Each structure stands twice: as structure tokens, then as C-alpha cells.
Amino acid sequence: MDCSQPGNDRSAAVQKRMARVKHKIIVLSGKGGVGKSTVAVNLATSLALEGKQVGLLDVDLHGPTVPLLLGLSETPTVAEDDVLIPVEVGGNLKVMSIGFLLGETDGAVVWRGPMKAVAIEQFLGEVEWGELDYLIIDSPPGTGDEPLAVCQAIGEMAGAVIVTTPQETALGNVRRSIKFCELLNLRVLGVIENMAGFVCPHCGEVTNIFSVGGGEAMATKYGVPFLASVPLDPAIVEAGDSGKPYVYHYSNSVAAQEFAKALPPILALDDMKLDSIVRFAIPVTEGVLCSHFGHCHEFALIDVDTAANVIVSRETIPAPEHEPGLLPSWLADRGAGFIIAGGMGSQAQHLFAQQGVKVVTGAAAEDPEVIVNRYLEGALVTGENVCDH
């Protein structure tokens, strides 16, 4: 690959190519060995099977596995204007990986950060992706050069899918991926827990060989969607080694059905504008709004598409242990842009204002979605702020 092109020209090329891609999604994990590339390949394949035009970009420059997982050995061709033509699979899936360009299966890439950034800009801007509904970007483990270079080169993205396994050794590192997204203002589309139990090849029973539910608990704690819990099926390993997309060849399996659960929130991106999404936070106790903001047990986080004026998702997360002044920054970190409360002290309202979060007080103790819908309809009746102190 030619690295001589000036940086501003590469950046312009990236923006030109990416303007033709509706939704750019990066797949992240905090550590290796969690099956991130397997998830990326099967997610891209699932979207293609839905009839979407999909690109799959492998930016794991030191350990590219996407060609192996898809059974691809072709070399991308070069068009007349010196752009690369990605390898096509099934007519509506386009694939690019440095693995296609190494010339040998065990070739090594020994590059420092700046060279990686240049290569990633070229994969984004000098590959003829064409018109795509989705570009799925498989990044290497961690929060280092490659995912940072992708996010900086593209700018606005649809979000990230984070892959983990259930045990704490993986979850601790994945929490760093969530923090990475927060620092880059990158929306977390959801968490996929991989290797969640072992599917017996003889009887089909699922046995939990790791701890159970860690990915879902982590997603709940951090207020991000939980997409799927995919068990470890020996057929997944066989499919990967033989280059056959698992969700296509084993579509009736338990694991494939779990993969399918991750699709609706991603397909729903077509029905919303990301910059029109506002997150409402409602303090909740026993299922209804808690009158005293700082004493609630949970928060309902409700995402609203303000362009269509409809609720698009809801998550409920436990409230943190009460500390004075904590909740405004804690909720702002979880994307809240609007608070509806019964009563709230003036100091808390001031802290929310500093975070750019709007507050409405005096709401009645009702179901959070009812409250938000009434607000959207302009029919929310508010009374006295019951704890203004």
C-alpha cells in the first residue's frame, strides 16, 4: 500500500467514501479470545441475509482472521483510479482485510501507530465500498491505535457493539471499552456475551462452563443495551475453521437464534436519525416515578427519537449508592439529556445544568413511559417541586 499520499488528501477520501455508507459500526472487545471476529463476521453475514448492502472491514492488522472465517483467499483487484475493489461474498457483502495483501498466510505486519493510522485511512478511503447500508469494522482487542484511528478518521459513527465472555477476567477489560466509547462520544449499541455456556453436540444441552450472566449484569450496570447471550457451540469452531458463516449454515441452532436477537436494534438504525435521539432519565421505585429524586432505587433510561416523537428503547439500571452531587455526572456519563423528576434540590438542578442536562420537576408517580409520552404530547402536568432543598 502506498503511504505517500498527503494526510489531508487521505482524510478527504475517507469522508467521500464514508458519506456513501449509512451506518458505520465498530466491533470492540477489551481483551482477546472472546470471539470478537466471529461475532463481527456473523453480524455482517446476518445483515447481508436480511438483504442489506454490507461491508466488512478487518482492521486487526497484526492478526487478521476475517478471510479465514469466510473461507476467502482471493486478492482484491485494483481499479483504473488505483482504488482497491473489495472481495465480494454472495452479491451484497464486501470484505477487505490486510490478510488479503500479505501474500502468505503467516506474514507479519510490524508497524508502529502512525503507519497503522495511514493504513486504516487507506482501507476506508481507497477501497471502492460503494453504496452500503452498513459497514461493520472488526477491530483488534483493546482500546489502542486501531479503534482510535477508525473513530478519528470516520468521525460520526452509528456506534459500537462490544463483545465479552461471562467471566470477570473478560468483563474488567470490556468495561474499559465502554469507557473508551464514552470518551469518544461513541454510542454503545449493545453488548453481546459470547461463549455463554457450552452446547453439547450430542444432546444439545447447554452447560455453563464459565460464570453466568456477567455480560448482561455489566450492560445493566452501565446503562447500555444487552443484545444477546451466545453459547459456545462446537459447530461455531468448525464453521470458522472451514470458512462457512455459522449463522447461514446452522441457522436453526440455539447460538444462531441468539445472534438473531442482536439484529433488531441494529436494523432499527434505518428508522431513526442518531442525532435526533434524546435519552430521558426517570428516577424509579417499585415501577413508578420516585417523588424524591435522590432516594430512588433505579433509573429508567428511555431513548426518544425526537424527529418522530416516539420512544425507541428503554433500559432500567440500578441507582448508585447515594453520595451528594454524584447523580448529575453519573447520569450525564450514561447519555442522559433530560430528567423528569418529582422533586429535586436546587443544587442538583444546578449541577445538571452545568452538564447540559435539562430538568423538569413536579411530575406525578406514574409509569416512566407514560410520563415521557405525555411530555412528548405536550400533556405532562407538573405540580410542586416536593423536595427543593
86: nearest Cα among 129, 42, 26: 129
pLDDT band at 110; cut points 50, 70, 90: very low
Q: Is residue 381 part of a domain?
A: no
C-alpha span between 131 and 170 (Å, rounded): 36
Angle, alpha carbons 301-303-307 (nearest 5°): 160
116: nearest Cα among 149, 153, 155, 78: 149
pLDDT in tens, 223-282: 788 888 888 777 777 777 777 778 777 777 878 888 888 888 888 887 655 557 889 999
Domain boundary among 252, 271, 290: 271
pLDDT in tens, 78-96: 887 788 899 998 889 999 9
Q: Does one domain contain both 350 and 202? A: no
CB atoms within 10 A of CB 310: 13
Burial of 82 (0-12, 13-18, 19+ CB in 10 A): exposed
Q: Is residue 338 part of a domain?
A: yes
**What domain range includes position 320?**
274-376
Q: Is residue 385 part of a domain?
A: no
Can you list the positions of beta strands (E) in 98-176? 132-138, 159-164
Domain boundary among 239, 271, 303: 271
Rg (CA), the chain: 23
Q: Does one domain contain both 332 and 362? A: yes
Q: Is residue 112 part of a domain?
A: yes
CATH number at residue 282: 3.30.420.130
pLDDT band at 211; cut points 50, 70, 90: low
Q: Is residue 382 part of a domain?
A: no
pTM of the model: 0.68
Q: What are phi and psi of 185, to 5 degrees?
A: 55, 40
Looking at the structure of the chain, the number of domains it has is 2
Q: Is residue 200 part of a domain?
A: yes
Q: Does one domain contain both 284 and 232? A: no
**Looking at residue 341, what is its pLDDT?**
92
